[in-house]
Amino acid sequence: MTAKAVRVHDTIAVDGFTPSGSSDRQPRPLRFLVIGAGSRGHAYAEGVTHSPTTSASIYAVAEPHAFKRAEFGNRYIWGALGMPRQDQEFADWRDWLQWELERRRRQAAAGENHDHHADDPSCGSQLVGVDGVFVCTLDETHVEILQAIAPLQLHILCEKPLATSLADCLSIHRALVPARVGDRPSAPSKVFSIGHVLRYSRHNQHIRQLLLVDRVIGDLVSMEHCEPVGWWHFAHSYVRGNWRRQTAHGDGSLLTKSCHDVDFVLWLLSSPPPGAPRDTPPHFPRSITSMGSLTQFRPERKPAAAGTATNCLSCAAEADCNYSARKIYRDLHLARRITEWPVNIVCPDIEDTLHSSGMVTAEALLLGRLREDYDRMTTADADIAARPWYGRCVYEADNSVCDHQVVTISWDDDLLPSDRSRIAKTASIRMIAPTEKQCERRGRVYGTEGELEYDSRTIRIYSFGTQSVSTIETPPSAQEEKSHGGGDFGLTSAFVSAVDAVENQGWEVGDAQSHYIGCTLEEAVRSHAVVFAAEEARRDEKVVRWKEWWDEKRRLFDSESPCVV
């Protein structure tokens, strides 16, 4: 695949919506920077490249791993036979930030138009800026990056989770939203989106239409939602991989794996339905509880035959272990010439090695990475935590996150004349590791007039009135199946369309945010807050009363981090 420009969806009025503002500016190409060329960076770059939308392209990348950076650039920016300009590749996002600040300083000193698009890259010699940034780095880095780039006034799409603590989420909101002045409400000055991709698959949007607009099962009474993580997927990411340890605040896999599942349930049961006036308040929860623990991947569960082995490649029980790293990465993937995730997470250059040097060399590279290990007695904990260990025994790892967890949420009646969905109701959200299915969500919604059951492909509706069943098939395409049922593409397209509406069509940011993104930064922060409330409920074995809890958290944040206006 080579770098390619795309077109943004034409602007269409929905539900009688008419955008404010107008523009006499000649439409121009949109340019984006991707920070982090890992799997999520590729997912969003793919979305930009394949989006049927005005010209928009990935213009630059910031990535410390040289091979990842070059591969990403070859695929999405300068092409396999091209060469990057000096403003298109950076080894660190801080390098790009310093370059951008210097570019703006030089532009201002020269008395040029301060619009960072005054320069035209087609001339070859000019250095240009970007319209927006995709933040696709590790979770704990988001807060520093977002706070640092906030003054640049760029459009931002940040991968989930927004941050690893509630205080950091609130500080990001403060950095991106101007302080309130008098009676005027504060609002972001640029488009912002979060990687809650479940909102953007056509399958899930169809579910929402059926429940909230068509009301096929009447008033919603209760909902059960499950994310089956997948037995080896959990071992890869949450026992051996980057997300295996709780944060400093004691939060873990619910945040890093299932925060968009919590958001999905809130989108259906809390967010105003499609077509509601923009100022319609959410249906806030009454209470939140949670239970969960780390059950399976602990030293006491280690097979006796494994003895003192800490690495799969030196373990006597490896041949009989389901979680053998050799079986998962070599036998299930590389031996079948599958070099994408998860194998390319273990060895970023595995595909290039396989194509250039053959299977024997590629296998040797993979097994060499899997042999890497540590001794707890001689290796500092900080060094252990600093990187993943994909060949490590799953029963001897340094993981601490739950491998199963259930969250329950309840709502009271909060009726509005125009919205019958705001009745008392309940929801349960289950995150479970040892499953056959991998991230193929499933669930059931109970209503006053029927039931709706869903998985990742099928929607089944049962009517009490007719005692009939109707089934709707929405199988994802091959491309969609690898991208959250098309959610990655849907989110990317929505974000690029919103940026295009602001930059090329003269829309107000709030209008574009509402029309295309359908979720404000405030709503994204509040969705994360529900996750943090659930984790607090789990750790303290208590019921969190949402309104009191949320008011108190914001009060404490404001008192500890006063905003200077």
Per residue in 130-159, pLDDT (tens digit) is: 999 999 999 999 999 999 999 999 999 999
Q: Does pLDDT of 493 surpass 70?
A: yes
At 19 the pLDDT is 58
* Domain layout of the chain by residue ranges: 30-178+185-197+489-519, 200-230+244-291+405-483+522-545, 299-385
**Which residues lie across from 407 on neighbouring strands?**
290, 429
Residue 475 — left, alpha, or beta (φ > 0 → left; ψ -120 to 50 → alpha)? beta
More confident: 479 or 455: 455
CA pair distance 68, 295, nearest whole angstrom = 35
Whether 228 shows a pLDDT value over 70: the answer reads yes
What value does the mean pLDDT take over residues 543-558? 96
For residue 125, what pLDDT band results from cuts at 50, 70 and 90?
very low
Give the pLDDT of residue 250: 80
Give the mean pLDDT of 176-185: 67
The residue type at 407: V
What pLDDT score was predicted for residue 474? 86
Domains 30-178+185-197+489-519 and 200-230+244-291+405-483+522-545 share a fold: no
DSSP H helical segments within 371-520, as ranges? Answer: 381-385, 478-481, 487-505, 509-512
More confident residue, 195 or 3: 195
Residue 87 has pLDDT above 70, yes or no: yes
pLDDT band at residue 402 using 50, 70 and 90 as cut-offs = very high
pLDDT interval class at 117 (50, 70, 90): low
First to last CA, the chain: 49
Q: If you average pLDDT over residues 278-289, what whole number do you get? A: 94
Q: Is the pLDDT of residue 182 over 70?
A: no
Mean pLDDT of 421-433: 94
Q: Does domain 200-230+244-291+405-483+522-545 have CATH number 3.40.50.300?
A: no
User: Tens digit of pLDDT for each residue in 326-338?
Assistant: 999 999 999 999 9
pLDDT band of 181, cuts 50, 70, 90: low
Choice between 237 and 422, residue whose per-residue pLDDT is larger = 237
* pLDDT at 27 (0 to 100): 79
Across 24-33, 138-147, 259-268, 403-412, least confident range: 24-33
Query: Whole-angstrom Cα distance, residue 242 to residue 226?
Result: 23
Average pLDDT over residues 298-302: 97
Name the DSSP letter for residue 183. T
pLDDT-based confidence at 10, cuts 50/70/90?
very low
Q: In the structure encoding, which two tokens stand for residue 3, read together?
A: 């770098």
- Above 50 in pLDDT, residue 13? no
- Residue 473: strand, helix, or coil: strand
Average pLDDT, the chain: 90
Please name which of 500, 482, 524 lies closest in space to residue 48, comparing C-alpha atoms.
Answer: 500
Residue 393 corresponds to which tokens in the numbers above?
């025994």
pLDDT of 58 higher than 90 = yes
Using only the alpha carbons of the chain, give its radius of gyration.
24
pLDDT at 14 over 50: no
- Averaged over 185-192, what is the pLDDT? 82
Those residues whose C-beta lies under 8 Å from the C-beta of residue 79, and which sit 6 or more positions away, are 2, 3
Residue 3: which pLDDT band, with cuts at 50, 70 and 90? very low
Question: What tokens were used for 33?
Answer: 């920077």
Top-confidence residue, 504 or 416? 504
**Interatomic CA distance for residues 557 and 436, integer angstroms:** 42
**H-helix or E-strand spanning residue 549:** helix 546-560
Domain covering 30-178+185-197+489-519, topology = Rossmann fold (3.40.50)
